[in-house]
Structure 1
Amino acid sequence: MTGSTPSRKRRFPLRGADKGSSQGPHGVRDDERGSSGQGVIPAGSASLGTASDRADLPVPSQEAAPVARRRGAAIRDRAAGLARESVRKGGDRARAGLAYLTDRIIEIAPRIPVRDLQTLRRQFPGLGPEELADRLVAGAANATSTVGAGIGAAAMLPVPPAMPTELAAEITGVAAIELKLIAELHEVYGVRPPGNLKDRSTAYLRSWSGERGIDPLKPSSINTALGGQMRRELRQQIMKRMVRDLPNLMPFLVGAAVGALMNRRDTKKLAGKVRTDLRKAQVPWDALPELPRLEKPSDVLDMSELPGNPRELGY
C-alpha cells in the first residue's frame, strides 16, 4: 500500500513495552521513547524519579546500620574487658612473684655465712681496711658476674615458661652474694650492727634494699623490725633488679656477656655507696674493742651452689 511502512522496517514492540494505542487520551505515542502522557507510568517504562518516590519498590530498611554499630560496640567492649582482665591477672602474678622473691631473700639472709674481722685479717694478712675492702668487692663482683654469665648461658635458647624461674634464680643468687659483701664490709670498717644473728641479718637486708650503710649512731638505720616499709623497699629493689636483668635472657650467648657485665657493674656500684656511708662511721682497728666471734647459722647456705657455681667467695 502506498505510504505505508514496509513490513521489514516495522518495529515490533518489546516484551513488556507499552502496547497502548498511539492515539488516545495519553497523547501521541513514540515507539522509541514510550508514552508522552502524564500520570500512570506504564509497566516496563524508565523513570527518572528517585527510588523513594516509587510505590512499586520495597522500602529500604533503616535498621541495618544501627545493628552493625551495636555489634561493633559489643565486640569492642568485650575486647576491652578481656584486655583489662588480662592486665589484672598479669599484675596479680607479678605481685605474687615479687612477694615470693621477697620472702625467699628474707629466708636465706640469716643462712649466709659471714666472716668476722679476725677471720678476714687472718685470710688477707698485711692489708689495711681499704685494701681489704677492695679485695672483698672484687671477689663479690666476680661472683655476681659468674652468676649472670651462668643464667645468660642457660637462656641461650630461651623457653618462655622458664624465663621467670631463671630471673628469680639470678636475683636470689646475686642478693645472697651482695648481702655477704655488705656484712663483711661492716666488719672491715668496724661498724657491726648490734643484736643477734637475726637482728644483724635484718639490718643487712635494709642496707641492701636501700643501698646504704648502717650507722650505729642513727637508730633509724639499724631498725631491725621486719615491717611493711622494709618489705616494700625490698620489693622495689627486687623489681629494679628484674628490669635490669631482662637483657640477660637474650639468646645466642649475648645474654651471658650482658649479664656478667651488668652484674659486675651493679655490685661495684652498690659497694661504692655502702663504703661511702661506712667511712663516715668507721672505727679504726686499733680503737676497735674486742668483738665476740660471729655465730654460725644452723643451716648454712652453700654459696658454691648458687647459679653459675661461683668460686670467688672462699672462706
Structure 2
Amino acid sequence: MTGSTPPWKRRFSRREADQGPSDGPYSANDDERGPTDTGTASLESVVDRGDLPATAQAPAPAARRRAAAFRHKAGQGVRNGGRRARAALAHLADRIIDLAPRVPVRDLAKLRGQFPGLGPEELADRLVAGAAKGTATVGAGVGAAAMMPVPPAMPTELAAEITGVAAIELKMIAELHEVYGVRPPGGLAQRSTAYLNSWSDERGVDVSKPSSLGSAMNSHMKRQLRQQIMKRMVRDLPNLMPFMVGAAVGAVMNRRDTRKLAARIRADLRKQQVPWSALGELPALDGPQDALDMGALTKELGGAEESGRRPGRDGGR
C-alpha cells in the first residue's frame, strides 16, 4: 500500500516494550541473561565423573582395523626377518673364521719349485689365474644346481658358494703375500686372521701396522666380515637364475670378482714388496693339522655343473 511503513522499519511503542525489571550494563532482563550464579566452575576432568552420561565411543571401521592388524603383522615380520638374516650372517661368518686356519698355503720355496723360472709378477699372474678358474667353477656349479630354483634351498646354495669362494680367495691372498715377500708375522692363527681381515677389507696386509695383525677376530673385524659376506650374497643372487642362465652368470661374475680382488691386493703389496734376494731363507710355513682338500672342495661345489644336481644331495646314490 502506498505510504505504508515497511514491517522492518516499524517501531514498537514504549507501551509494548517489556516492562519487567532489568539491571546490568545493557538493561537486559534476568530471563534474557540466564542465571546470575557467581559460583566458580569445576576444573576437574569429566572423564571419570559418574554424574555425567558416558560418552559412547564408536568402534573403528572394519577396514581400518584390518589395515592396523596388517601393519602390525608386516612390521613384526620385517623385524623377525631382520633378526634371522643377522643370525644367518653371523653363523656364516663364524663358519668362514673356523675355515680360514684350515686353508693350505704354499710358501715361497714351494711356489718357486712348482713354477721354476718365473719372476714375482709372472708367478702372481699364475696364482690369480688359478684362483679365478676355481671360483668360476664354483659359481657355475651352484648356478647349474639352481637350474630349477627351490626357494628354501637358495640360502643354503648361496652359503655354500660363498664358503667355497672364500676358501679359494684366502689361499690366493696368502700365497700372494708369500710371492711379494710380505709374510705376516706370527703363527698359523695370527696369519689366518690377517689374511681373513685382508679378504674382508679387500686390501693387502700392512705388516708395518700392528692394528692389522690382530691375533683374534675382534668386533670390528667381524662386522667387516659380515658386510663382505652380505655384499657377496647380493652379488651372487643372479647365480640362482633358472634354466642354466645362472651357471654362466655365476662363472663370469666370480671370475671377475676374484680378479678385481687380486688387483687391489697386489697394488697394496707392491708398495711394500721385498725382493727375493733380500728375503734369504724363510722358515717353512707350519701347515694346519686338518687341512682342507681344495681340489675336492672345488670339485664338490663345481661338480653340479656337469650333473645338474645340487652338491651333496645325491652323493650317496
SS at structure 2 position matched to 1:306: helix
Matches of 1:176 and 1:69, distance apart in 2: 58
Which residue does the alignment assign to 2:127?
136
**1:252 aligns with one of 240, 243, 255:** 243
**2:207 aligns with one of 197, 208, 216:** 216
Pairwise CA distance, 1:67: 6.0
Matches of 1:310 and 1:166, distance apart in 2: 10
Matches of 1:307 and 1:245, distance apart in 2: 17
Q: What do the CA deviations read for 1:61-91 (whole angstroms, capped 9, x no partner)?
A: xxxxx96853222111100010011101111
Q: Partner amino acid for 1:159? A: V
Does the CA-based 8 Å contact 2:141-2:301 persist in structure 1?
no
| Gaps in structure 2 of 5+ consecutive residues | 1-56, 303-317
Matches of 1:267 and 1:198, distance apart in 2: 24
Does the CA-based 8 Å contact 2:142-2:301 persist in structure 1?
no
1:76 and 2:67 matched: yes
SS at structure 2 position matched to 1:126: coil
**1:177 aligns with one of 168, 183, 191:** 168
Count matched residues.
246
Q: What do the CA deviations read for 1:246-269 (whole angstroms, capped 9, x no partner)?
A: 000000000000000000000000
Residue correspondence of structure 1 range 175-254 to structure 2 within 5 A: 175-254=166-245
Pairwise CA distance, 1:93: 1.0
1:280 and 2:271 matched: yes
Q: Partner amino acid for 1:83? A: A
Q: Partner amino acid for 1:90? A: G
Pairwise CA distance, 1:291: 1.2
Matches of 1:215 and 1:147, distance apart in 2: 30
Pairwise CA distance, 1:221: 2.6
Matches of 2:258 and 2:219, distance apart in 1: 26
1:103 and 2:113 matched: no
Does the CA-based 8 Å contact 1:167-1:242 persist in structure 2?
yes
1:166 and 2:157 matched: yes
Which residue does the alignment assign to 1:91?
82
Matches of 2:89 and 2:300, distance apart in 1: 24
The alignment-based identity, stated in percent, is 69
Does the CA-based 8 Å contact 1:170-1:307 persist in structure 2?
no
RMSD of Structure 2 on Structure 1 (CA): 1.5
Q: Partner amino acid for 1:281? A: Q
Matches of 1:69 and 1:257, distance apart in 2: 55
Pairwise CA distance, 1:310: 7.5
Matches of 2:301 and 2:188, distance apart in 1: 25
The change in CA–CA distance for 1:310 and 1:86 in structure 2 (over 3 A counts) is closer
SS at structure 1 position matched to 2:182: coil
Matches of 2:300 and 2:162, distance apart in 1: 14
Matches of 2:206 and 2:90, distance apart in 1: 28
Q: TM-score w.r.t. structure 2 length?
A: 0.75
SS at structure 1 position matched to 2:147: coil
> Could you tell which deviates more after superposition, 194-203 or 300-309?
300-309
The change in CA–CA distance for 1:150 and 1:163 in structure 2 (over 3 A counts) is same
SS at structure 1 position matched to 2:61: helix
Matches of 1:190 and 1:209, distance apart in 2: 21
Which residue does the alignment assign to 1:289?
280
